[in-house]
Amino acid sequence: MHELDGLRGGVAGAALSQREWDAIHALYERVWPAMPARLRRAEALGARWADHTTPFTVFERGRAIATVGVLAHPLRLRGEDVLVGGIHSVGTDPERRGEGHCRRALDAAVRWAEQRFELLKLSTSVPPVFAGVGFVKQPLFTFAVEHAGAGSGALRRLDLARAEDLALVRQRMAQRTPLSNVLATRDEGWLVLIDAALASVTASWFYDAPELESVLVAEHDQGGACWTVHDVIGARLPALGVLLAALPAPCQRVIVTFTPDRIAGPWGRERVGGDDALMLRGAWPELPAFGMPPLWEH
């Protein structure tokens, strides 16, 4: 039998051989062509993919043909800090789809994960694939304030390729308070940075907000009508009026993709549509309507 043959899994990514990672990255490139380069960008930011994933991979004569990753995601959930298992990076060689290799890796990954985590979650655009292994689709919401007015703040856009900007973001992440007591990431920054690199937003979504002593992760509608705020990273959370005042330019609407239970205000909510879904497995507590910012997903 070839040295790399069959299903391998349950070994932390940091302990895999370079040969195994080379094969897995070659598979990533066949499935998601931009992914390996973006993971290298994340590593340059100090967020090393291999340190946070446990891959389950089907090899055939040294070639990876299907893979599923498991990570441990620290969350604030209903006011308590918990560690949740995350299924991610589920992919099959395009030439080998429909042969059961991905399901084999997924079954092994879920069996391994359920022995270590009471709760599992994943984000996907193909929910039926994961319904077959016990995951249930969970509705997500965004929250908005209408007629937000004209802020007077001065945000500085950050570029995480600059050492001083990256240092500021890392400092804020080390000090951050949970953004929500319903559900919020408690990672030390590695997931946010990896997701930012994968989404190619390291030079566009991060803003220094000195008036808030925070970093905002946000997008601005170039027409000036709307800000979408994905994260507020700092030791203290601002009141809604303070947050709105920190956003420059006239703004008719502010949307947040997180749950704003710790930033009180006249929030309206809207269910997120589209194909992308959050799916849960295990005895999750009953939660009120909540959001999941894109840089907290996996």
- Predicted confidence at residue 1, as pLDDT, reads 45
The token pair that represents 117 in the structure block: 């985590």
- Does the model's pTM come out above 0.75? yes
Burial of 138 (0-12, 13-18, 19+ CB in 10 A): middle
Give the angle subtended at the CA of 111 by the CAs of 57 and 25, to the nearest 5°: 20
Give the highest mean pLDDT range of 4-8, 243-247, 282-286: 282-286
Report the DSSP beta bridge partners of residue 124.
277
Arch. (CATH architecture) of 6-138+274-288: 3-Layer(aba) Sandwich (3.40)
pLDDT one-digit tens code per residue, 170-225: 999 999 999 999 999 999 999 999 999 999 999 999 999 999 999 999 998 866 67
* DSSP E strands, 47-93: 54-60, 63-77, 80-92
- The rounded distance, in Å, linking the Cα atoms of 66 and 251 is 46
Question: Are the folds of 6-138+274-288 and 142-184+198-271 the same?
Answer: yes
Is a pLDDT exceeding 90 seen at residue 147? no
CA dihedral sign of residues 214, 193, 56, 105? positive
Is a pLDDT exceeding 90 seen at residue 248? no
- Predicted confidence at residue 292, as pLDDT, reads 98
Is a pLDDT exceeding 60 seen at residue 2? no
- Predicted confidence at residue 150, as pLDDT, reads 63
| CATH fold group of domain 142-184+198-271 | Aminopeptidase (3.40.630)
pLDDT one-digit tens code per residue, 272-294: 999 999 999 999 999 999 999 99
- The rounded distance, in Å, linking the Cα atoms of 38 and 199 is 8
- Predicted confidence at residue 44, as pLDDT, reads 98
pLDDT one-digit tens code per residue, 87-115: 999 999 999 999 999 999 999 999 999 99
- Annotated domain spans of the chain: 6-138+274-288, 142-184+198-271
Those residues with Cβ within 8 angstroms of residue 173's Cβ, 6 or more apart along the chain or in another chain = 188, 189, 192, 215, 233
Sequence letter at residue 34? A
- The rounded distance, in Å, linking the Cα atoms of 224 and 294 is 22
Those residues with Cβ within 8 angstroms of residue 205's Cβ, 6 or more apart along the chain or in another chain = 196, 217, 218, 219, 230, 295
Is a pLDDT exceeding 80 seen at residue 169? yes
